[in-house]
Amino acid sequence: MHEPPFEPRLSPPARESPWPDIALVAGITVMAFVVSSYFQFNEALYSLTRDWEYFQVDELPAGMFVLSICLIWLAWKRYAHARRELQARRIAEARLAEALQENRRLTQENLRIQEVERKHLARELHDELGQYLNAIKLDAVSITDSDARFSNDASVAIVRNVDHIHRAVSEMIGRLRPVGLDELGLVAAIEHCVDQWCQRIQNTRILLSVEGDFEGLAEPLTLTLYRLIQEGLTNIFKHANAGRAEISLRRDASVQGGADMVRLKVADDGCGMEAGARRTRFGLSGMRERVEMSGGTFVLTSAPGQGLTFEAYLPASGAGP
């Protein structure tokens, strides 16, 4: 199955001029008059219906003429009603588009605030809790230098517990804020993320390919790329049961239309997915929303037993969520 790339909503077509149709109707009418005059249709009709004068068949043209006028009036009335309905529909679509755009702005602002809060929380965890844990561990290590057996056992327990808490805090910080993204850059943060996932899913071989210069990208765009890779690896770990996964990140001007674009591709050879599982199992709605809010295009390809591949095309100058 293949999902087509997102396409922006097109504006309604321009209103066509009615004069070509009017000219066509007038031409057909004149042609009918000429043919009727040449073959004397009215006289022939009169001669054929003269014996049926009792039924007043010769008055049929007048009745048909009145019927034509009435049909024209009915058609015009329906046309005017259809125009009013179309105008109302266009107004409703315009209001819906405005509401959708406002909803996208609100979602974008919500994601921005969420990332800011994650950044602050990760910094506070590192600066406050991490430092105090290190201080406790140093005190416990100093206790081990004494000869008292009780104090030695207590210090060992303290060191063990502090190490456990430190690992938990480090994992929390990594989930809240990509490790090394601010100091080392996008590529180093992605490599660190992939290394962690390689240790977690040892049955899956993960290959990473990075091409191009990713320095100087806006922070929202780097976060979007990192979160897409993070979500893709999470899906592979939870659902794919894959033996091989490939991550390709490339930036150049030949990806799409000659513009400066960033292309991200995450593919696996796992079990794939059914059409009904698109939004419930894999969290693809959030990924697509992030890409589209960054002004990009999200493409998904998958089939049961044939793995899953998603590609994101993002403008390198995009602000992103």
* Phi, then psi, of 182 in degrees rounded to 5: -75, -40
Domain layout of the chain by residue ranges: 19-104, 115-176, 186-315
List the one residue out of 318, 185, 187, 321 whose CA is nearest residue 259.
318
**What's the CA gap between 232 and 210, in Å, rounded?**
16
* Sign of the dihedral through C-alpha 93, 95, 96, 100: positive
Residue 247, pLDDT score: 95
Residue 310 makes CB contacts below 8 A (sequence gap 6+) with 232, 265, 266, 267, 284, 287, 298, 299, 300, 301
Q: Which amino acid is at 268?
A: D
Query: Is the separation of the CB atoms in 278 and 308 below 8 Å?
Result: no
Per-residue pLDDT at 26: 83
pLDDT of the residue at 157: 74
Tell me how far apart the alpha carbons of residues 198 and 244 are, in angstroms, rounded to a whole number: 11
CA distance linking residue 298 with residue 278, whole number of Å: 13
Q: Which residue has the tokens 């979602």?
A: 107
The whole-angstrom separation of Cα 101 and Cα 292 is 12
What is the residue type of 162? V
pLDDT at 318: 58
Instruction: Pick the closest to residue 266 from 233, 306, 220 (CA basis).
Output: 233
For residue 4, what pLDDT is reported?
Answer: 43
Give me Rg for the CA atoms of the chain. Answer: 36
- Report the DSSP pairing between strands 205-211 and 261-268: unpaired
Give 206's strand partners: 245
Which residue do the tokens 């180093």 mark?
188
Task: Decide if 201 contacts 270 (C-beta within 8 A).
Answer: no
Identify residue 171 by its one-letter amino acid code. Answer: E
DSSP conformation letters of 137-206: HHHHHHHHTSS-HHHHHHHHHHHHHHHHHHHHHHHHHHHHS-TTTTTT-HHHHHHHHHHHHHHH-TTSEE
What's the CATH fold of domain 186-315?
Heat Shock Protein 90 (3.30.565)
Q: How does pLDDT run along the chain (321 residues), one tens digit per residue?
A: 444 444 444 444 556 677 887 888 788 888 887 887 777 777 776 677 666 666 666 666 777 788 888 888 888 899 889 999 999 999 999 888 888 887 777 777 777 777 777 777 777 777 767 777 777 777 777 776 665 665 667 677 777 777 877 777 777 776 677 767 777 888 988 998 899 888 888 888 999 999 988 888 888 888 889 889 988 998 888 888 889 999 999 987 655 556 788 999 999 998 887 755 544 444 677 788 888 888 889 998 888 888 899 999 999 875 445
State the pLDDT at residue 1. 46
Q: In what order do the strands lie in the sheet with 261-268?
A: 2-3, 297-302, 308-315, 261-268, 244-252, 205-211
Both tokens of 240, joined, read: 């794919």
Q: Inter-axis angle of helices 149-176 and 60-124, to 10 degrees?
A: 150
CA angle at 46 for the pair 40 and 47, rounded to the nearest 5°:
90
**Element (H or E) spanning 250, and its range?**
strand 244-252
Q: Supply the pTM of this predicted model.
A: 0.54
Q: What are phi and psi of 268, to 5 degrees?
A: -140, 165
